[in-house]
A and B are shown apart, each in its own frame.
Chain A
């Protein structure tokens, strides 16, 4: 079995977002970059499947050279090799086209990634890749088991779960609790340094969307405090002042 896990390189979830250059660029000063949390779930489950089936596990990132520490972390967790496609991931279609191009040359049985990146939250890439390869895609997947060439999955839906089966090859967008997050051990970290990381040039990069500028939400007004022994007054305020009841 061959598994590909696609990861994003995104600001840590606790980052205070700010923009520079006339609000056209993220201020990365002091920002710590991490593997997308949803991608981490995909990677953790892929490592478990690798251990179960002796699969070959490749990790892929579409990004510039500064994402390499994030890619090395994925290698430390148990990926066998890595591919970096040297392009700015500015548009979902562009990213999907790069991934699909690599997939066409490698015949992966399972292509995994997070349900969405936590920077642009598009949640598109798995679906577009599935369409480009003419294979099914399922997201958001919270449970994934492989039996023979069949994937047995649970997908989160509003208020519950949907249980699905699909024949491989397959693209899955993952979320918790598909696996426990893994932490690399010292042996993994040492071996990651020498695992192959191939850098390839993008093919036919074309953007269908372009972000022109960014803005922050308006500042919140002061919080109106209500004494606990007059808590019932809150209901009145929600009815007459906020008009939300």
Chain B
């Protein structure tokens, strides 16, 4: 018996959300009286450091075909690791890849999968998780009744402090066939050098109140000074002022950062659905009646072009 945590990597390094998943998984393992095993697919470095987050062992499949996330191959490799480690709980950090891989693993292992999990499981009567539903508008307490269980956790739900502990690294060689690679990745287009929106601890978003894409400089500068990722509202992405992968909301990216700063976004219910699990929300809008103020922790009624430069100047002063 063990708890297996799938660790997603970018350019050979574990994603921050996956480190949180390892820490969360280590706690679940402790609750179950067992150990936490991390699984890394593709070429990667510094894996013994996953011990800092509570993994006692790391399974590593250093197969270069797995350097890009191939859905079927990943699902097959993860399922084999679950069987090998006799894991009864599999944990993943939600992402574009992990979500769809988790679904296939659930089908393969006939495992109950709970997505958008926001707390540690309650083991007092069965195995019950709290998960976010209705796109962040509510929560469900859901019992997972299958023998094998899969939890896809939301970002920023489990505080943790890394230690100096090291994990042992074990080579893992899943049996993969050509069929597992039948979906061919032709090309990847990725904004380079910018912080990934779902991974960011701080997000600065702009809306139609900025009046045009040429005015995004102040959003980008504030984001840069704060170490934040940039986002936008749906109208802004529909107007092609910003790329679709920056659209935050009900049908776009859902974020749960420590700090969400909305500039010139009125706060339609569909936008709120994508941000309502942020720890702290700041709203800057020239309209005092903007509904977003009701969901905010801090608000400034004013012209973005005057307010944001002041924030940039203040943030630059340590």
A positions within 8 Å CB-CB of B: 11, 13-15, 17, 19, 37-38, 91-93, 96, 118-132, 136-140, 142, 155-167, 173, 175-177, 207-217, 220-221, 223-229, 231-238, 242, 244-245
Contacts and interface: CB of A to CB of B under 8 A. Distances in A.
Interface stretch (B25-33, B35-43, B46-54, B141-149): B141-149
Given A228-B306, A234-B300, A124 B142 contact: no
Contacts of B282: 234, 238
Contacts of B145: 207-210
Given A93-B110, A238-B298, A142 B71 contact: no
A137 B105 CA distance: 12
29 contacts: A11-B134, A13-B270, A92-B103, A93-B110, A93-B112, A121-B115, A121-B135, A124-B102, A127-B102, A127-B106, A127-B107, A131-B75, A132-B107, A159-B191, A160-B190, A163-B189, A209-B144, A214-B139, A216-B138, A217-B136, A221-B297, A223-B299, A225-B293, A229-B302, A231-B307, A234-B300, A234-B314, A244-B258, A244-B259
Contacts of B120: none
Nearest to B184: A165
A59 to B, nearest CB: 20
Q: Which of A213, A217, A235 has the most CB of B within 10 A?
A: A235
A126 B102 CA distance: 11
Interface of B: 68-69, 71-72, 75, 95-97, 99-104, 106-108, 110-116, 128, 132-146, 182-191, 194, 196-199, 202, 226, 244-245, 250-251, 258-259, 269-270, 273, 276, 279-280, 282-283, 293-303, 306-307, 310-311, 313-315
Given A126-B100, A209-B143, A225-B300, 16 more contacts: A13-B270, A96-B107, A131-B75, A131-B103, A142-B244, A158-B199, A159-B194, A159-B196, A161-B190, A162-B189, A209-B114, A220-B294, A229-B302, A231-B306, A232-B311, A237-B298
Given A127-B103, A226-B298, A232-B310, A211 B140 contact: yes
Contacts of B128: 212
Contacts of A159: 190-191, 194, 196-197, 245
